[in-house]
Amino acid sequence: MKLTCLSSGSGYQFPPCHILEDVCGFRILLDCPLDLSALSVFSPVPPDNDFVSDGKASYNSARDCFAKEQEIQKRQKIETPLHAKDLIHDELWYKTVKNLHLWDPSSIDVVLISSVMGMLGLPFLTRAEGFSAKIYVTDAAARLARLMMEDLIAMNMEYQYFYGPRESGGPHWMRWEELELLRPELKKVVVGKDGTELGGWLPLYSSADVMDCMRKVQTLKYAETACYNGTLVLQPFSSGSEIGSCNWTIDGPKRNITWLSCSIFASAHAMNFDYGALRGRDLVLYSDKQFLPLMDEVQSNDASSTIPSNDLSSLSRCCSADKDDWKKLTESLLSTDEILEKEKMDFICSCILQSVQAGGSVVIPYNRLGILLQLLEMIPVLLESLAADVPIYVISSMAAELLAFTNVIPEWASKPRQEKAYLFGLSIPSSKFELHFEVSKVSSSFWMFLQMFSGEPMFSHVDFVNKRKLHVFSAIHSPELLTTWQEPCIIFAPHWSLRLGPVVHLLRRWSGDENSLLILEDGVDPDIALLPFKPLEMKVLQCSFLPERRLPKVDCMLKLLQPKILVLPDDLKEKLDFSNPSLDSFSVLYYTEGETLSLPSSPEGTLDLEIASVLAERFAWQNLGRQDVMYTRLEGELVMEQGKFRLLPGITSADSHPSKNKEMKSDAG
């Protein structure tokens, strides 16, 4: 078996992408994301107002002037600060996974998706000629990904209108003479470090491509089993990072594999990390690299400054304990995640409150559904406690459908959310419901459902919308928004790249207000992303919304899983110490981006065989000459079902000649 890391990714927005080869003879693609952070090399709107005064003709002439200025500066080797004029002024193109376009789509047998972000590049692949792979994703992730892709298409359409028809022969900025004029910071994003990533840029897919992609997807619930070709048994288990996100298990007749993506032990909105089914596997592929920046920070500073000493000591004791105390270990990991997530949300809310009290507005380009839902619960309560009359707006073409969807998915939510939606063990008086049918005709299962369902929303934004504390609009130019507009305000809007959607217009409005606040998530370079909005006076808060993953917690998680073979990104080679006696029970391999790693083959003689009971009754054991070895002869049909070898009763010679059978019966009669 071989592993090729096509892309190591760059956090939640751009998860890693891998290909597993020769898994029982099949090729499996793990995730198919888009690098939306690369959109920062484009200019969303002309940097100066005079660009739009004469329409596109004026814009084209101005662009030519910029190119001439850049060429002169390059020849004279003049070093100037990066300016908005240096960005690419053209229709947006999207960067797919590096080197994925070099693989034959028809050679891929299975595609596994771990999260919403890991699915955004899938329509590019499903529309490729020859693609026929089976795609597996959780039901919630598929629905959310469809909404996000449709929203991306709607936002991209606005800029197609501005820049006009697509140029024949490809965009001007992809020509080598134009690439040579790009500033080094931008050129690195466009072509990559080694100059091989230019072929991964494509214009965005269409709504028809998305619909065709969704028709080819098979959705699963957590722990639901899917069998591919009778050989591979696939199961998704909750990763805790987001609603619908998962880790995958791949079971075959020779080996069982776990693909461990971004995972959080305790989440305030999504179902917790389900680690039970992942323990004791033959091979674990660990691709979560979102904690690496924090690891660097911890190693360069005193660890006690970033994590309470009592948490560190308790986690370390769990890892070094002579006896496995799984309960204590899990509780330590869960409690730490819960505390860190709550502290981050409280800090963000305090910054928002300071801005609105100073008369400034707040812009939050959202990406994670869970963060959006949590802030929509916390901020209105905080404003109400301070008697602050500040409206909250959510502006997106898919906002209404997205928020409605979140209250009909209790099975994907965290346990406290589920308990809010269902009243387990409690009886609800029948007077609470208006039944317009005969009670005698209601099935017992449906009546039980009525008794269990509380009717209360899992997330509080429904109540805030009804109380008109939260306003949802499909577009920034909506007439309803203009009639209810009030400043200061708090706005949630896409897109976090700052190149698409309502956030572009909002930043141009408030960029000069020193009391206003922009909240950015890690994953985008602020120096490049904010160029079109400079000079910038508004405050910018950039942070990671994920609970911080620390080295002791990673060690403990690996101790909890106890795989036989662990495959890690090479970035962790110098950061994790496997000299700990509790971690030496498994072998460790490291993979590198762009390279193929050969994985050890499974040990010989480990195949399991299920024998039909009819055949087992025919056992006639004989001694082989040694006291500890016996054998028996069996005749049957060896088949592969549900990832296991099975020996079934074979077709007898009589059964194989039905005509002769018939003749014999007639003669006997």
Q: Which two tokens stand for residue 149?
A: 């892709």
Lowest mean pLDDT across 321-335, 370-384, 582-596? 321-335
pLDDT of residue 403: 87
Residue 42: exposure state from Cβ atoms within 10 A (0-12, 13-18, ≥19): buried
| pLDDT above 70 as % of the chain | 72
Average pLDDT over the chain reads: 77
Residue 584 confidence (pLDDT) above 70: no
Q: In 3-state terms, what secondary structure has residue 344?
A: helix
| Between 313 and 5, residue with greater pLDDT | 5
pLDDT of residue 661: 41
Residue 301 confidence (pLDDT) above 60: no
Residue 579 confidence (pLDDT) above 90: no
What ranges in 386-484 are assigned the alpha helix state H? 399-405, 415-421, 444-452, 461-466, 479-484
Question: How far apart, in whole angstroms, are the C-alpha atoms of residue 248 and residue 122?
Answer: 18
CB 163 within 8 A of CB 91: yes
Residue 292 confidence (pLDDT) above 80: no
Residues 6+ apart with CB under 8 A from 301: none
pLDDT of residue 522: 79
For residue 626, name the pLDDT band (cuts at 50, 70, 90).
low
For residue 421, name the pLDDT band (cuts at 50, 70, 90).
low
For residue 79, name the pLDDT band (cuts at 50, 70, 90).
low
Residue 190 confidence (pLDDT) above 80: yes
| Between 19 and 523, residue with greater pLDDT | 19
Question: How far apart, in whole angstroms, are the C-alpha atoms of residue 129 and residue 467?
Answer: 51
Question: How is 420-434 classified by DSSP, letter by letter?
Answer: HHB-TT-PPPGGGS-
Residues 6+ apart with CB under 8 A from 162: 45
| Between 278 and 654, residue with greater pLDDT | 278
Residue owning tokens 């033959």: 282
Residues 6+ apart with CB under 8 A from 190: 38, 41, 173, 179, 182, 197, 198, 201
The pTM score is 0.80
Q: Which two tokens stand for residue 514?
A: 């020193």
Task: List pLDDT tens digits, range 525-546.
Answer: 888 999 999 899 999 998 877 6
Residue 593 confidence (pLDDT) above 60: yes
φ, ψ of residue 249 to 5 degrees: the values are -110, 140
Q: Give the C-alpha distances (Å, rounded to integers) separating 209 from 9, 120, 155, 268.
A: 24, 12, 16, 34
Task: List pLDDT tens digits, range 329-350.
Answer: 444 444 445 556 677 788 888 8
Q: Which two tokens stand for residue 667?
A: 């003669």
Residue 669 confidence (pLDDT) above 50: no
| pLDDT above 90 as % of the chain | 36
Lowest mean pLDDT across 90-99, 203-212, 259-268, 292-301? 292-301
Residue 470 confidence (pLDDT) above 80: yes
Residues 6+ apart with CB under 8 A from 39: 92, 94, 497, 499, 500
Question: How far apart, in whole angstroms, are the C-alpha atoms of residue 242 and residue 409?
Answer: 13
